[in-house]
Amino acid sequence: MNFRLLSFLFAAVTMLLSTNVFAAAPIKIGALFAVTGPAAFLGEPERNTAKMIVDEINKAGGVKGRKLELVSYDTAGDATKAVQLATKLIKDDKVVAIIGPSTTGETMAVIPVAEKEQIPLISCSAGSKITDPVKKWVFKTAQNDSLAVGRIYEYLQKHKQTNVAILTVSDGFGASGREQLKAQAAKYGIKIVSDDTYGPKDTDMTAQLTKIRGSNAQAIICWGTNPGPAVVAKNARQLGVKTPLFMSHGVSSKKFIELAGDAAEGVKLPSGKVLVSDLLPKSESQKKALVSFVKDYQNHYKAEGDHFGGHAWDAVMLLKNAIERGAETPSSIRDQLEKTRNFFGIGGTFNYSAQDHAGLGKDAFVLVEIKNKDWVIVK
């Protein structure tokens, strides 16, 4: 608590000083994260990371001699609030770009505001809808669900497991995953033999799993964020379901292993490379960014940096690079963002273009398996 107060005072003092000392005004970047509420598991690491990286950029002398200033607000995961705060960032704080929001719902709500006011928005949420169709002012850093689905299906196709059961959570993340799972199945020659959902707050999924056990599924794919999937893993173990279990990238953090305990063993899931940064070969182009991010986060917050924080890291760095290339106004930042090529971030290698504002390829994901309470890369 004291630390927080101190850091707040420190920030206030440095802000006062910096405006006096440096002639060039800081560049204001807005941030909207769901730091409290149901999506806090996304918003908190995102805000922490954004603060951390902006501080570091400023310590290193800022961008082209100008400091960055992060104006960050908590949306509590509420779409109405996100819209109000986006308006506040644009009209009152006069930011040049906005990072966030954390969830797809909030992002969809904020998009009309960003488009109308012509301010670049770099969303940290995963929904494919955000950049499909492409919107002029909207970019995103979180990997599309379609890429994660592709990774799993590729593996299944290779191992000739064609009958799958899907079990998705009934929230934005699960709905988007379900859509992608169904849409891509045919392309990989996969048949969905059972399609069930569960509620975000459900504490027992034996009913769905019993039904799946009765089907001829060769693999179960569960799409959700903690704690639901941990319950699924535990229930599957209790019921003695031997069918291999796949999860989504929504649970790719140590938290899942903690929650599911022994039941997590053998579970496979697509994950951003940040999770296995130390296992990656030296030749991996993202390795430098990944290792430094994980180390920094550990030093600052005494916690493991996860790929959610990585979305914010990527967003800030993309902006920084755009400004470094000479962009200053919202519209020039937008143009420069669109010209981003081969940026090695946390989420993957970004290549934006006029047709693609998501920017990531299939290599953004690796398939990992949980063994002895740790991650192993599946070849």
List interacting residues with another protein (CB under 8 A): 4, 8, 36, 73, 77-81, 83-84, 87-88, 90-92, 104-105, 108-109, 111-112, 116, 127, 129, 170-176, 197
Largest CA distance in the chain: 71
Taking residue 354's Cβ as centre, other Cβ atoms within 10 Å add up to 9
* Residue 41: C-alpha distances to residues 31, 48, 169 (Å): 16, 12, 16
Phi, psi of 128 (to 5 degrees): -65, -30
- CB 362, min distance to another protein, A: 23
- CB 112, min distance to another protein, A: 5
C-alpha torsion angle, residues 159, 256, 287, 44 (rounded to 10): 140
DSSP 63: B
Of residues 97 and 156, the one with the C-beta less far from another protein: 97
- CB 107, min distance to another protein, A: 10
User: CA angle at residue 305 from 304 to 306, to 5 degrees?
Assistant: 110
- CB 7, min distance to another protein, A: 11
Of residues 71 and 193, the one with the C-beta less far from another protein: 71
- CB 180, min distance to another protein, A: 12
Of residues 197 and 206, the one with the C-beta less far from another protein: 197
Instruction: Write the CB contacts of 361 (distance below 8 Å, at least 6 apart in sequence).
Output: 147, 348, 349, 351
Phi, psi of 378 (to 5 degrees): -90, 130
Of residues 144 and 340, the one with the C-beta less far from another protein: 144
DSSP H or E segment with residue 163:
strand 163-169
Closest C-alpha to 225, from 247, 241, 204: 247
- CB 236, min distance to another protein, A: 24
- CB 298, min distance to another protein, A: 22
Of residues 86 and 368, the one with the C-beta less far from another protein: 86
- CB 171, min distance to another protein, A: 4
Closest C-alpha to 51, from 90, 94, 14: 14
Of residues 91 and 211, the one with the C-beta less far from another protein: 91
Of residues 82 and 219, the one with the C-beta less far from another protein: 82
Of residues 222 and 323, the one with the C-beta less far from another protein: 222
* Residue 22: C-alpha distances to residues 19, 28, 65, 203, 324 (Å): 6, 15, 9, 55, 18
Using a 10 angstrom Cβ sphere, with 0-12 exposed, 13-18 middle and 19 or more buried, the burial of residue 265 is: middle
